[in-house]
Structure 1
Amino acid sequence: MEDIKLYFVTYNVGTSVPVQELYDLLSLPEELKNEKNHQLPDFYILSFQEVKAQPHNLFLDAIFEDPWTTCCKELLEKRNYVKLKSVRLQGLIMSVFTLRKHLLSIREIESEYTRTGLSGMWGNKGAVSVRLSIYGISMCFVNAHLSAHDDHLKDRIEDYNTIVKDHEFHVPEHTEIFFHDYVFWMGDLNFRLLEEFEQSPEEIERIILKKDLATLFKNDQLRHVMKKGQAFSELGEQTPPFPPTFKFEVGTNSYDYKRRPAWCDRILYKVSPHNYENITLKAEQLTYKYHPFYTLSDHKPVTAEFSVKVFSDFAESIIEFDKISTWYLEEDNEVVYKVNPWKIPQTEEDWIGLFKENFNSLDDYVCYNYTNKSSSVSTETKVEKSESLKYTLTFSELPSRCHGNYVLVYFSQSEDKVLSVLGISDPFPILKKDSD
């Protein structure tokens, strides 16, 4: 088995924009030159709640990324991360980034969402999720924003059970959240202190200042319902070593007495250790902390880092591209690629995208073509299982803005939009004919 590191962020941004630097949030040195001895996570999973979601913002975000994802991506792309997937439900956003070196070992990327606001009619509360397979191990990440206020505990319990029941993926054997090897559930879960714990906000703050967090946490609603099996009992959580993350006066580190302080912002996880013979899966939590530097919202962000076990000798079959010397803007351009039909089932939805060489998102293709338009290079009518088939695909009318080095990426895509990266070509230049 091999270890990979996952870094999680959950932050209710309270409709703010990221005017504060995000280095601390992502646990990154401000200078790239200081990162020589800094081990970067293999994956970042970023969860935001209450991202500004007025109708005009939703229209813009359908075309452009939200400002929080954009700011994080700008920092991460300098460190060779690629965004695999973003999913949004009104103010709820989750994005998953990976180091580029892992791209060809990631399969079956899919997202889901569940509305729970107004009895499922409105997406101001609910959950978004991303599931995928990494080196043969299945993972599911959930970002939830549950019902608010101290006295709405039953609503939070109902929200959780609705999300678990409603979420349905299209990958065989992994159709539900808890049908995965690893599950990580985070967000503004909005659990407060038990109503029977009758201390006022001022009294609770005095307990916090005495650093008697254990007394407060005995009255945590989330841990209470977990023990009773009403919600989140499938998951575990390290006891938060930080003070309550809500509610603060915006722009300060002072609690707002309009609400009783509580641990609303949480990161929980579940491991199914014995899903494979002679193998034990394991997740080791390395950090769990809040970030008081951020004062843009009445919440403080929370982060966690995990080291998880995956298969070290896992090898996926990939599409192999023939080397391309040069493509030209004014001409039809061909790519030749090799497929082992016995290992890689092709679908009508498979496609090849043209990307800049150092692309930072799977959404950033310049153009694409479906592989069902390919022609077989081989004249053989019968293919042995040890053989591979070669195909050629023509790209016409490249966008005039193409200039510099590019790569081709082969995507396997099902009818249900489950996406896998099966191959990446070597870089090649695109030139004008009179420039060669």
Structure 2
Amino acid sequence: MFIESKDRLLVQIASYNTNLQGIWGLPQDLVDWLSPTLQVANFLSREPRAPDIVAVGFQELLPLHLGLAGLSGSVLESRNALILSQIESSAPGKEKFTLLGKVVNGGVALLVYGRDEGVARRVCDVQTSWTGCGPLFMGNKGAVGVRFRVAGLDGGVGEVYTFVNAHLTAHERFLRKRIQDYSYIAKTLLFTPLPGSPSSSPSTMYSTSHLFFFGDLNFRLALPRSHPLAGSNNRGDLAAALNNEENREGLKEFDQLTIERRMKSVFVGLREGEFWKFKCTYKYKLGEVDKYHSLRVPSWTDRILYTTYTDDPDTPEETNIHNLLYTSIPSYTTSDHKPIISLLSLPPPLSTSPTPSTPPTLRLPSGYAPTPDPRANFKRYTGRVIDRIIGYIWWIICIIGLGSATLGLVNIFIGLGVYTWWRTRPNALPY
């Protein structure tokens, strides 16, 4: 049995697509979602221990028109208050946590917390970033990131942690677009240069000591037509097969993300735990714990990937990060997705960094070196302006329709018709 030591930081990552439901997208009790990792931490440690870092990502945080309009503040604050209270009440020693960083773009949001009696005291250089990869760079799809440096216990430069939460293009047939989304995010989700860097140019998410990439990545289970479980007529048999772990391990060979990672076309350098240990996280019937929707092929759309600077680029299936837990939470039924969670034990920090003033950074495979897009800011803010224009117009239409965009449009057309009639009506005849 692996026993984690206290010089290995524990990082807890949680991700959930809440299906555009705003403040109604989460139950008030988050124990099922956030406490399993705490229980595992207790089991694996000689002494009860809370995570050092907790990162929580949301996709489809609130109705799309509100997200595009930038009206996510109240929802994000309610999420923050609820999550903070839950992780503190569930911690074995009632440890306190501090919000290190939060960021939202459209409906994609990320909150990262640090344990007060530990990491939070040494955190510095906190940064946030965002990018949209929807049509015209809009934020209906895209990524947000939080980066910070944890100074060394000896006062040295320490290590840099980068967390990225993403929502990529949907539907099985748009595989190429998902791959393009990832490439775009790698070039436009930018941060300031690392300490000691000789360059003043922005740095990509790969310029870090530890990288965690998660969210609704939307890669699907793409069964060939010759497979006995392929086709809409066999959805029931496929759902039944997913109840068995041995079947899931076989079906994982048709997972688009697994296939593309092996081809090094996406998520280059990142590793993942055994996702087939839990059932596909999408698409469920609302209100159901364990019933898939017949209109979609069940898929592992929600994923958590990671890597660290001591990982060898020549052995992409191996990592020095111990994945202590990687699972989904079936009990949440307000969304067509199931939330996922992972507990990761990071390798102990090296005694000295390669350069005393520079944090250690990831080693990437030969030939792969994503560079910042020089037009990244132009693209990001073009998308944000379009977001706001469409979002506010949509929001006003919904107000006119008492919450319904369809009714709002009907009311507008009726109003225009009445106004046109009023302006063009013949003058009333005198008595």
Query: Is the shorter-chain TM-score for this pair beyond 0.5, marking a shared fold?
Result: yes
Q: Aligned-pair distance for 1:171?
A: 2.8
**2:161 corresponding residue in structure 1:** 139
Q: Aligned-pair distance for 1:65?
A: 3.1
Report if aligned partners of 2:20, 2:64 keep a CA contact under 8 Å in 1: no
Q: Give the 5 Å matches for 1:163-202.
A: 163-172=185-194, 173=197, 175-194=203-222, 196=224, 198-200=230-232, 201-202=235-236
Q: Deviations over 1:281-322 (max 9, x none)?
A: 9321111111111111000111000111344879xxxxxxxx
Q: Distance in 1 between matches of 2:134 and 2:186?
A: 15
Q: Distance in 2 between matches of 1:46 and 1:64?
A: 14
Query: Are positions 1:95 and 2:130 aligned together?
Result: no
**1:236 corresponding residue in structure 2:** 271
**2:155 corresponding residue in structure 1:** none
Report if aligned partners of 1:108, 1:171 keep a CA contact under 8 Å in 2: no
Q: Distance in 1 between matches of 2:208 and 2:147?
A: 9
Q: Deviations over 1:84-109 (max 9, x none)?
A: 11000111010000111232311211
Report the TM-score when normalising by structure 1.
0.65
Alignment-mate amino acid for residue 33 of structure 2: L
Q: Distance in 1 between matches of 2:288 and 2:183?
A: 35
Query: Are positions 1:112 and 2:129 aligned together?
Result: yes
**1:217 corresponding residue in structure 2:** 252
- Residues 1:204 and 1:123: Cα distance change in structure 2 (over 3 Å): same
Q: Distance in 2 between matches of 1:236 and 1:29?
A: 19
- Residues 1:162 and 1:99: Cα distance change in structure 2 (over 3 Å): same
Instruction: Give the strand-richer structure, 1 or 2.
Output: 1
Query: Are positions 1:47 and 2:57 aligned together?
Result: yes
**2:9 corresponding residue in structure 1:** 4
Query: Are positions 1:256 and 2:293 aligned together?
Result: yes
Instruction: Give the helix-richer structure, 1 or 2.
Output: 2
- Residues 1:155 and 1:29: Cα distance change in structure 2 (over 3 Å): closer
**1:156 corresponding residue in structure 2:** 178
Alignment-mate amino acid for residue 60 of structure 2: E
Alignment-mate amino acid for residue 267 of structure 1: I
Larger RCO: 1 or 2 (CA < 8 Å, sep 6+): 2
Secondary structure of the equivalent of 2:272?
coil
Q: Distance in 2 between matches of 1:258 and 1:138?
A: 43
Query: Are positions 1:307 and 2:337 aligned together?
Result: no
Gap runs ≥5 in structure 1:
276-280, 315-342, 344-436
Secondary structure of the equivalent of 1:267?
strand
Query: Are positions 1:14 and 2:19 aligned together?
Result: yes
Correspondent of 2:325 among 284, 287, 295? 287
- Compare 16-25 and 263-272 and name the one that shifted more: 16-25
Alignment-mate amino acid for residue 57 of structure 2: S
- Residues 1:115 and 1:60: Cα distance change in structure 2 (over 3 Å): closer
Q: Aligned-pair distance for 1:270?
A: 1.4
Query: Aligned residue pairs: how many?
Result: 308
Secondary structure of the equivalent of 1:82?
strand
**1:70 corresponding residue in structure 2:** 81
Secondary structure of the equivalent of 1:262?
coil
Query: Are positions 1:81 and 2:100 aligned together?
Result: no
Query: Are positions 1:247 and 2:320 aligned together?
Result: no
